[in-house]
């Protein structure tokens, strides 16, 4: 995968955690793009997207608390969307951002909706990747079954093949090179030379509580995107974000454009040709 140069940035959350983001430089006459990853993902999840957009756009990729190079929380019950929103607020303040485009995958999309609901005027645009105000029960059950479970492999190839076995139905077109890329985004090497998941296993604790997958009713939060240009991406095979939810979102938010990414489940990597084309068209419209 092509990569682009970036700088590592750090800031302190309100409860004293050192959090990490990647900052890819770009034009200062356009709002920066803030990328917010999914539940078990981190800033590396957006390497392909950032490589395509950097230069034309400033791209800021955040690792939420408990992921990647961001510190693990002392209290596992802070691993909830409202706390992630507070962390984003601190980052926005630190970087003095007055307008931004948010691109959120899954959990990152929930946070994007909360930004729209609580900070009118901040979003110049929003991309919601395979997520909406309702999470389908089958997908939720699947996620709860694997989040927080240990992973430990001797080599990247072992990790890639294990991840492929678990996710074959999500990405049926993937080759081993794709699974290796995913493994290196999802995992890290320990000091002992083992490959493990690059997140705090305790992120699963609040997620498994009743309502823990969101913590709030997000249909009113979606209404906060009224008037905000919004792109909704849905994986054709997704068991998390179903067609009926996407259709209702488009009905409630006239500025929302729905797009289906074929032959992929939850969630599109944003490197699929259809996703690339949709995002490029969307951003072109914002820049016009």
Q: Mean of the per-residue pLDDT values for the chain?
A: 94
Q: How much is the average pLDDT of 138-156? A: 87
CA proximity to 222, closest of 250, 241, 244: 250
Contacts with 158 (C-beta within 8 Å, 6 or more apart), sequence order: 195
Task: Round to whole Å and give the CA distance between 136 and 234.
Answer: 13
Task: Please tell me the predicted confidence (pLDDT) of residue 2.
Answer: 63
From CA 98, how far away is CA 44, in angstroms rounded? 25
**pLDDT confidence bin for 140, thresholds 50/70/90:** confident
pLDDT of residue 4: 80
Residues of the chain with CATH 3.40.50.1820: 7-139+205-287
Q: The tokens of 227 are what?
A: 């008037």
CA distances from 112 to 123, 198, 202, 226, 231 (A): 9, 23, 23, 13, 12
Task: Report which of 244, 285, 284, 279 is spatially closest to residue 102, judged by C-alpha positions.
Answer: 279
The tokens describing 192, both together, are 């002992």
User: Whole-angstrom Cα distance, residue 129 to residue 234?
Assistant: 6
pLDDT of residue 211: 56
The closest alpha carbon to 143, from 77, 84, 214, 73, belongs to 214
Q: CA torsion, points 60, 105, 161, 69, in degrees to nearest 10?
A: 40
Predicted confidence (pLDDT) per residue in 161-179, tens digit? 999 999 999 999 999 999 9
Q: How many CB atoms lie within 10 A of CB 45?
A: 26
18 has which bridge partners?
A: 12
Q: Tell me how far apart the alpha carbons of residues 222 and 111 are, in angstroms, rounded to a whole number.
A: 11
- Structure confidence by residue, pLDDT tens digits, 182-235: 999 999 999 999 999 999 999 999 876 765 555 467 899 999 999 999 999 999
| pTM for this entry | 0.96
| Angle value at C-alpha 241, between 57 and 116, nearest 5 degrees | 45
Mean pLDDT to the nearest integer, 273-280? 98
pLDDT in tens, 86-133: 999 999 999 999 999 999 999 999 999 999 999 999 999 999 999 999
Share of the chain above pLDDT 90, in %: 88
Q: Which CATH class is domain 7-139+205-287?
A: alpha beta
- The answer, yes or no, to whether residue 265 has pLDDT greater than 80, is yes
Q: Sheet harboring 195-197: ordered strands across?
A: 152-153, 195-197, 187-189
What pLDDT does residue 245 have?
98
What would the two tokens of residue 194 be? 């083992």
Predicted local confidence at residue 182, as pLDDT:
97
């Amino acid at each position: 995968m092509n990569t682009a140069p970036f700088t590592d940035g750090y800031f302190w959350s309100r409860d004293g955690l050192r959090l990490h983001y990647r900052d890819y430089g770009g034009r200062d006459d356009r709002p920066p793009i803030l990328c917010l990853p999914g539940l078990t993902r981190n800033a590396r999840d957006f390497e392909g997207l950032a490589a395509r957009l950097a230069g034309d756009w400033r791209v800021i990729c955040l690792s939420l608390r408990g992921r990647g190079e961001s510190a693990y929380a002392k209290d596992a019950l802070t691993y909830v969307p409202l706390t992630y929103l507070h962390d984003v607020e601190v980052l926005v303040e630190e970087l003095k951002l007055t307008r931004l485009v948010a691109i959120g995958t899954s959990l990152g999309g929930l946070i994007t909706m909360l930004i729209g609901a609580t900070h009118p005027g901040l979003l110049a645009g929003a991309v919601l990747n395979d997520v909406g105000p309702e999470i389908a029960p089958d997908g939720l059950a699947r996620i709860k079954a694997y989040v927080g479970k240990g992973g430990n492999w001797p080599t990247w190839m072992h990790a890639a093949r294990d991840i492929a076995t678990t996710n074959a139905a999500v990405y049926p077109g993937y080759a081993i090179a794709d699974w290796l890329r995913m493994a290196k985004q999802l995992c890290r090497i320990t000091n002992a030379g083992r490959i493990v998941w690059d997140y705090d296993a305790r992120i699963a604790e609040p997620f498994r509580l009743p309502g823990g997958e969101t913590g709030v009713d997000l249909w009113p939060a979606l209404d906060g995107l009224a008037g905000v240009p919004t792109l909704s991406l849905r994986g054709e095979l997704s068991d998390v974000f179903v067609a009926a939810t996407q259709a209702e979102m488009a009905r409630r938010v006239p500025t929302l454009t729905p797009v289906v990414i074929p032959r992929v489940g939850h969630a599109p990597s944003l490197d699929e040709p259809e996703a690339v084309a949709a995002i490029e068209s969307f951003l072109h419209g914002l820049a016009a």
